[in-house]
Amino acid sequence: GAVVSQHPSWVICKSGTSVKIECRSLDFQATTMFWYRQFPKQSLMLMATSNEGSKATYEQGVEKDKFLINHASLTLSTLTVTSAHPEDSSFYICSGEQTYEQYFGPGTRLTVT
Amino acid sequence: DAKTTQPPSMDCAEGRAANLPCNHSTISGNEYVYWYRQIHSQGPQYIIHGLKNNETNEMASLIITEDRKSSTLILPHATLRDTAVYYCIVRVVGEYGNKLVFGAGTILRVKS
């Protein structure tokens, strides 16, 4: 199946700093990528839909100025958590869509201290 | 909100079939049912999907009722490595992509 990678796999940052997470589709081109967030013992929550070359579409309640998404190519989307705070600590997962199926990355564990 | 309901947890003996039910009574005619699973601290893994007909692949079988209001995922010979959270999802076709809205899922514990 199609492979999606994320980098870094985990990151620790200080409160007030920004963190960038990369999502790459390794063996397919993903016109659409999705970003999810998952808190401990909870399900995945869709944050935004990212289409190559256009602005991301954010789900209700997700601050677009805080979670900056860039999808500059068919194989790369980035999520930048700006001015991170401890409550942003979570597991961030991306997925790429190919022929109506979503393939997920391994996730990035963000811890804000 | 997720359009599916699943039991919170199930146990299954190793080597036996695991049957995971899912209700999706408000599903629309053109909406697909997808199944993913998530092993702890990993990204979800695609298992299978279907519209009306039953489907089978190397991982599992998907049985969809005739009225499409419910479905069952069958893992024919469960192993310890199948222990995971299983998500039944109705794919929502949106303007900007096909959204997967995850519900709480079913924790499947395969025991030896």
Amino acid A93: pLDDT? 97
Contact list, A34 vs chain B (CB under 8 Å) = 97, 99-100
Q: Is A5 on the interface with B (CB under 8 A)?
A: no
Amino acid B95: pLDDT? 65
* Binary contact (A93, B96; C-beta < 8 A): no
Contact list, A6 vs chain B (CB under 8 Å) = 43
Report residue B105 as tokens.
């899922």
- In B, residues 8-47, which contact A (CB 8 Å cutoff)? 32, 36, 38, 41-46
Predicted confidence pLDDT, tens digits, chain B (112 residues) = 668 999 999 999 999 999 999 999 989 888 899 999 999 889 999 999 999 989 999 999 999 999 999 999 999 999 999 999 999 999 877 666 678 888 899 999 999 9
For residues A22 and A95, give the distance between their C-alpha atoms in angstroms, rounded to a whole number. Answer: 11
Amino acid A6: pLDDT? 98
Question: Are A31 and A52 in contact, with CB atoms under 8 Å apart?
Answer: yes
Using alpha carbons only, how large is chain A's radius of gyration in Å?
13
Amino acid A82: pLDDT? 97
Q: Is A104 on the interface with B (CB under 8 A)?
A: yes
In chain B, helix, strand, coil percent, each to 5? 5, 50, 45
Q: Across the interface, which of A57, A103, A105 has its CB nearest the CB of B96?
A: A57
Amino acid A51: pLDDT? 87
Q: Find which of A5-19, A64-78, A92-106, B82-96 is predicted with most confidence, using mean pLDDT.
A: A5-19
Q: Across the interface, which of B44, B49, B91 has its CB nearest the CB of A104?
A: B44
Task: Estimate to the nearest angstrom the gap between the alpha carbon of B33 and the chain centroid.
Answer: 8
Amino acid B96: pLDDT? 62
For residues B7 and B3, give the distance between their C-alpha atoms in angstroms, rounded to a whole number. Answer: 14
Amino acid B64: pLDDT? 96
Question: Are A28 and A98 in contact, with CB atoms under 8 Å apart?
Answer: yes
- Nearest residue of A to residue B48, measured between CA atoms: A101
Amino acid A65: pLDDT? 95
